Chain A
Amino acid sequence: MSVRVGHTAEKPAFPILAHELLQDDQTRRNVRHATDVIRNKRALRVAEMPDWQDLRTTAHAIKTHTLLHLPHYLEEFERNCIRAGGQVHWARDADEANTIAIRLIRHAAERLAVEHPEVIKVKTMTSDEIGMNRALEQQGITPWETDLADMIVQMGKDEPSHIVVPALHKNRHQVRELFLQNMGLTELGTEAEDLTGAARHYLRKKFLEVGIGISGANFAIAETGSVCVVESEGNGRMCVTMPKTLITLIGIEKVIPKFDDLEVFLQLLPRSATGERMNPYNSIWTGVTPADGPQEFHVILLDNGRTRMMANVRERETLNCIRCGACLNQCPVYRETGGHAYGSIYSGPIGAILSPQLNGMKYSRSLPYASSLCGACYEVCPVKINIPETLIHLRGKIVAQDQNTLSGKLSQESMGMKMAAHLFEHPKQYEAAQRLARTGQGLFEKDGKLVNLPGMAAGWTQYRDLRALPKQSFREWWKRSHTDRGDGSSGVGDE
């Protein structure tokens, strides 16, 4: 298996990346501005829906049901897609998916008699997950990202910092610079309209000339074998309509049972993602339609770590995600650091639970700790993923994993916890330890707070101060104030 999630394997831990990003005032301002705007728009559009909670409940139920019957629905989707003229391929991991895509692109390019194959791509986070662009480039295939934000990321040799608005960390002046460098322009206005105009002109030629398209999917409908792509700019319509060959990469969790289920998700997704009642365009297509759109259609069904998450309800629920990004915009941690601190293309709260799990808890292990567990993400999640509970579950998993290794068993944290457990069970020893700590803390005390503690306590005070132990503990106070009376009643609050 070679499951891969973007560049997570090479990335430093969250606190290290976050520390760097927190110094970048410009990025922080951009992130704060963008998340403020989407949060407000979302709140407005959700408030006008009296049945919002009912929609969430149904969406959660549909996703839960689908995952419990996933083989059934995947096979049904496959059958119906093939019946309609599509071809279905299965990929266990990133490398397998890329290998299939490259083979299909080569064949298509041969038929088109194209020497240097090119593909036009509509925003697919799943392709970023498997590192598709790099894999294609290594094989001499040029991928053109056509979503405005993805194009900005590609031109800047950057990485997406948000799952819906990948270039949210860039402001328009930075975008203008990139366009000037990459589009061969000598003049370009500074207004957002100037920039979108430039993108329209630049990409039109590609849409008409490049014969191979690559897309992701928001929904794969088992009942009909149809695929649905949700978008705003029209680049999605272009990529799924204009090429001769279309390759659609679909995570296995994207399947939904019936066409009618769209009535739930097409209400929840746009309002949660961009704060719109409905996004400008949805494209729904089924296999191949004679004389309309690509005459060759391939689906790649991707696992890449997803099946690992099927054996436990907390983990399985993560696969409910419809990638709306609402939890990112709401998260007090994401709003300070932006997406790059997570070291994964899946950032924010959902990234913090999805990235490590896809990775089999091997990488992105610092992410479940990158949260204050405030629960804002759960409240806005349109498919009701209980992210805080899952974060705690994953923290537990990481600790349990570590305790299975010798170095983990002997680690300071593990030893400290064992010692604490022992003390809590033995009151006399506990009191003695308290007295000892009170005497010792004087060295580190500053204005009633402990800073820069030594040894195994250093990990705690590295990020926050610890209140100093009081002169008298509750137990000591209780003993003193009650020996006088000897009646067991407390000295305060007694009526």
Chain B
Amino acid sequence: MSNDARFTVLDTIRRQLAADPDVETLIDDSPEEAYARIPRNYQRTSKLNREETLELFYDRLRDYDSELVFTDEAGIAKAVAHAMREANETLLLVPAGVPQEWLPQNDVEVRRDFDLPLQPLEEPRVVLTPCTVAIAMSGTIILEHSDEQGRRAATLLPDHHICVLWRDQVVETIAEALQRITHRTSPITTIAGPSATSDIEMTRIRGVHGPRRLTAIIL
């Protein structure tokens, strides 16, 4: 049945296109050649300098009520510990590949996600990961799910996501950001502020099913 359907759908499209007298002139070259001719006059590359790009990004994050912490690589563990204390949390979920040096030594119990079953995975209310790239224009953080950035469930079930990012990971446009995604067939999640809905009277409400809090540790 399914094979018949496949044939019918593809065949119908071809026949329909052939029935349009205007189409012939439009498709006399290969899809690749025609694709290359698509006009792209929108902004693809950066117009701002580094400082302006970063300022814009911080501004967008604050606009989403995210918390921003500025430190250096040596200060990550301290910043994480501080964020945990502020949130009154003691159990921290980390993907298998997150560096040991990022983890607080005292007062925080660290749970590494080595293929944890659902229940222990769901328990921690804070998760710590790095990301691949961030977009200043829209305040977006992009995760390419891996050992280091964790499987998708790890950054979804906890209520509070602490994300570590380097300043040079911040780009201005989405076009630049997509160029930095190298493993395009691994699962990818883009995050712009905490989970939200405007479904009730068009009022934006923070936090429905995804993490309600985002802390960005910026290096």
Residue numbers of A with Cβ under 8 A of B are 30, 33-34, 37-38, 50-51, 54-55, 57-58, 61-62, 65, 68-75, 84, 89-92, 96, 100, 146-149, 152, 165, 167-168, 171-172, 175, 192-193, 195-196, 199-200, 203-204, 207-208, 224-226, 232-235, 237-238, 241-242, 252, 257-260, 262-264, 266-267, 274, 276-287, 289, 291-293, 301, 303, 307-308, 310-313, 316
| Cβ contacts B177-200/A at 8 Å (1 or 0 each) | 010010011111111111111111
Contact-size category for B: 35 or more
13 cross-chain CB contacts under 8 A: A38-B202, A69-B34, A148-B197, A149-B199, A225-B185, A234-B210, A238-B210, A241-B153, A241-B156, A284-B188, A292-B152, A293-B153, A301-B9
The stretch of B23-31, B80-88, B125-133 in contact with A is B23-31
The answer on a CB contact under 8 Å between B38 and A58 is yes
In the bound complex, residues from chain B placing their C-beta under 8 Å from that of A226 are 184-185
Partner of A175, one of B187, B192, B200: B200
5 additional contacts, CB 8 Å, given A58-B41, A68-B27, A311-B20? A70-B13, A232-B198, A263-B178, A281-B192, A281-B195
Q: What is the CB-to-nearest-CB distance from A471 to chain B, in angstroms, rounded to a whole number? A: 50
Chain B residues with CB under 8 A of A257? 31, 35
Query: What distance in Å separates the Cβ of A289 from its nearest Cβ neighbour in chain B?
Result: 5
Q: Are B118 and A165 in contact (CB under 8 A)?
A: no
The complex places the Cα of A365 from the Cα of B175 at a distance, in Å, of: 42
Docked Cα-Cα span, A57 to B14, in Å, equals 26
Determine the distance from Cα of A81 to Cα of B42 in the docked complex, in whole angstroms. Answer: 30
User: In the bound complex, do residue B153 and residue A242 qualify as a contact, i.e. CB atoms below 8 Å apart?
Assistant: yes
Q: Is the beta-carbon distance between A196 and B208 smaller than 8 angstroms?
A: yes
Kindly report which residue of chain B lies nearest to residue A193, judged by CB atoms: B205
Chain A residues with CB below 8 A from B199, complex form: 147-149, 152, 165, 167, 233
User: Please, how many angstroms separate the alpha-carbon atoms of A34 and B200 in the complex?
Assistant: 9
- Nearest to A263 among chain B residues (CB) is B175
Q: Find out whether the CB atom of B13 lies under 8 angstroms from the CB atom of A65.
A: no
Please judge, given known A-B contacts A57-B41, A92-B8, A92-B9, whether A281 and B190 are in contact too, CB under 8 Å: yes
CB-contact partner of B184 in A89, A224, A311, under 8 A:
A224
Contact, CB under 8 Å: A284 / B31:
no
Contact of B145 among A235, A277, A289 (CB under 8 A): A289
Interfacial residues, chain B to chain A (CB-CB below 8 A):
1-2, 5-6, 8-10, 12-14, 16-17, 19-20, 22-23, 26-27, 31, 34-35, 38-44, 60, 115, 118, 122, 135, 137-140, 145, 151-153, 156, 173-175, 178, 181, 184-203, 205, 207-211
Bound CA–CA A256/B174 (angstroms): 17
A47 CB, nearest partner CB in chain B, Å: 14
Interface contacts (Cβ under 8 Å), in number, total 246
Across the interface, do A233 and B210 meet the contact criterion of CB distance under 8 Å? yes
Query: Which one of B6, B185, B209 contacts A203 once the chains associate, using CB atoms below 8 Å?
Result: B209
A69 and B27 within 8 A (CB): yes
Asked if A281 and B189 make an inter-chain contact with CB atoms under 8 angstroms apart, the answer reads: yes
B127 to chain A, nearest CB (A): 13
Q: Which of chain B's residues have a CB closer than 8 A to the CB of A278? A: 135, 138-140, 190, 192
The interface residues of chain B lying within 8 Å CB-to-CB of A285 are 187-188
B34 touches A65 (CB 8 A): yes
A90: B residues at CB distance < 8 A? 2, 5-6, 9
Assuming the contacts A68-B23, A289-B186, asked whether A303 and B192 have C-beta atoms less than 8 A apart, the reply is no
Q: Which residues of B contact A65 (CB under 8 A)?
A: 31, 34-35, 38
Residues in B whose Cβ lies below 8 Å from that of A146: 209
